[in-house]
Amino acid sequence: MPVIPAVIEFGEYRLDRTSRAIFRNLEPVKLTAKPFELLEFLIANHMRVVSKEELLQKVWGGLRDPNVIEQTIRQLRLVLEVDPKIPQYIVTVMGAGYKFAAPLSFPDTEPMMTSALEEGEGKNRHAWTRHSIVICLTLLGFGLFLYTIAPGEPAACEVSVNTLIVKDGQGREVWRREFPESLNRDRYAVDTAFCEFADLDGDGTADVLFPLKRQSYLLHGDTLYGFVTRSRMLRRLRPTPARTLTFQPGADSVVDMNSDGTIAKPDKGYLGPYTIAGIFKRNNGDSRARIVVSSVTNYASNQIAVLDSDLKKTSEYWHTGHLKYGQLAKYNGHDRLFLGGVNNGYHSATLVAFDPSNIHGTTDLSIELPDRRPDFAVYAAWSGGHLTPFGAGTETCRVLFERTCVAKATPHREPYNRVIGLTVGEDRISVTVAQGEREDTPERITYEMDRHLNLVVAFPNAKFQQKHLELERAGLLDHSFSAQELTPLIHVLPGCEFVEKGK
């Protein structure tokens, strides 16, 4: 990195590289370690366009996920810019990278030494002052040394037998935690991004969210752990998290409907395996995280729980199926949490959207599609009927992706299809649907919709088209494949906020 002075000024800001601090008009600005490092690197390369690849190599130590750059740039702009949408300091150069574009100044940082000692104070006071300065400088040097060698913020996780190992963006170990029972190796071998990172205590440092799945997970459900990270210097002195939070909800009130129309017996030990669906902050100035977790099982209803920064449940929503894939996005000017999976009531893949600050209730199955009447519901054990104590669901939009002719054809007949991929952009939503109840079903279709959920294009993969042709040749389908047959399979249910008015 190019050599730059210890103190740098730009706009209303003063950055002190020695103390790792930044000030706005002499007032300290809270900025965590990784955004500070990124800002320092961009300033060191002033007016030069820096690619994402270079940033991943130089700032993140070779990390391969470009999403961390966009997230950190967003954090910096929220702190520095008057209007993050019109950045003045960190500018995006489309297709190339980022550059720091604001003018810099480098003030004289040499301290002004003035004598406040009078001649009559004597040599003892001079000596004591010298000793105090030496002691302070020694302590300061030791503190800076600890800060330098201490690992950075948590950025990645590994699991080894019964141990969780947390590392920073440079691959250095931050801390490790041993558990009394072996962890499920299959679960963590498949999902390499099982940890999430969020500020739980509001100190500006990333903390760790870890869904623990035991080796005997079929008998015991997940426990969501929240590990609060120590300050940087203490990470070297005490390599353990400062505080441990847990979430293991259990639920014996909401159950399913048996195939004969009776209510299934409540499972006293309902502890589904949990996945973290989204992390957001409240809009009341509280910087601490809120977490949305989703239980995903093949034998029970799906609980969506909203947790506060202490991992206490604040609200919950129950879905007839499984919502496994989630993304929090700014959509049509509003924060929205998108969840994708399957709606068992309609035997269809589904996309559901929520205002993240208002998630509760249960799935509405009152709407009948042309060839689908819902035959599955969520029940309250004591109600004896279709109602639950949680009230109507607060979904702001629901979309169903009906099974295709390939999924319905005998002998290929599949009882469900399901969402297995979800990407929400500024003006597009892309949803990938597997044409079977297993996620690894090879026949898949990717639907791309505009910001009003109008279908733009549908991409069937080669396996889907091959299966369609096989069924056609076997006399199980009476038509050749046409892309037009995919268009009427999407049902945007009434009340969706994204639908263009007048349509």
The string of DSSP letters for 119-168 reads GGG-HHHHHHHHHHHHHHHHHHHHHHHHHHHS--SEEEEEEETTEEEEEE
Instruction: For the chain, give the percent of residues with pLDDT over 70.
Output: 76
Instruction: For the chain, give the percent of residues with pLDDT over 90.
Output: 14
Region of residue 475 (left: phi > 0; alpha: psi -120 to 50; beta: else):
left
Highest mean pLDDT among 265-279, 293-307, 362-376, 384-398: 293-307
- 8 A C-beta contact, residue 291 and residue 284: no
- 8 A C-beta contact, residue 246 and residue 223: yes
pLDDT at 264 over 70: no
pLDDT tens for 99-126 read: 998 888 877 543 333 333 334 444 555 5
pLDDT for 382 equals 40
Tell how strand 490-492 and strand 455-460 pair up: unpaired
pLDDT band at 428 (very low <50, low <70, confident <90, very high): confident
pLDDT tens for 199-211 read: 888 888 889 998 8
Question: Is residue 268 exposed (0-12), middle (13-18) or buried (19+ Cβ within 10 Å)?
Answer: exposed
Comparing C-alpha atoms, which of 427, 417, 467, 420 is closest to residue 448? Answer: 427
pLDDT for 233 equals 66
CA atoms 488, 494, 495, 501: torsion sign: positive
Task: Give residue limits of the domains in the chain.
Answer: 7-100, 147-248, 249-503
pLDDT at 429 over 50: yes
pLDDT for 468 equals 92
pLDDT at 92 over 70: yes
pLDDT for 110 equals 39
pLDDT at 176 over 90: no
pLDDT for 261 equals 57
pLDDT for 128 equals 54
Tell how strand 361-362 and strand 313-319 pair up: parallel
pLDDT band at 94 (very low <50, low <70, confident <90, very high): confident
Model-level pTM?
0.64
The string of DSSP letters for 277-309 reads EEEEE-SSS--SEEEEEEE--SSSPEEEEEE-T
* Three-state DSSP class for residue 469: helix
pLDDT for 27 equals 82
Token code pair at residue 25: 């008009």
pLDDT for 372 equals 61
Dist. CA 246–CA 20, nearest whole Å: 33
pLDDT band at 67 (very low <50, low <70, confident <90, very high): confident
pLDDT at 32 over 70: yes
Dist. CA 133–CA 145, nearest whole Å: 18
Taking residues 87-91, report their average pLDDT. Answer: 90
pLDDT for 192 equals 58
pLDDT at 447 over 90: yes
Token code pair at residue 126: 């001079």
7-100 folds as Arc Repressor Mutant, subunit A (1.10.10)
Highest mean pLDDT among 173-187, 232-246, 281-295: 173-187
Dist. CA 245–CA 234, nearest whole Å: 19
pLDDT at 412 over 90: no
Q: At what angle do helices 33-44 and 67-80 cross, to 10 degrees?
A: 90
Quote the mean pLDDT of the chain.
78
pLDDT band at 286 (very low <50, low <70, confident <90, very high): low
pLDDT for 168 equals 83
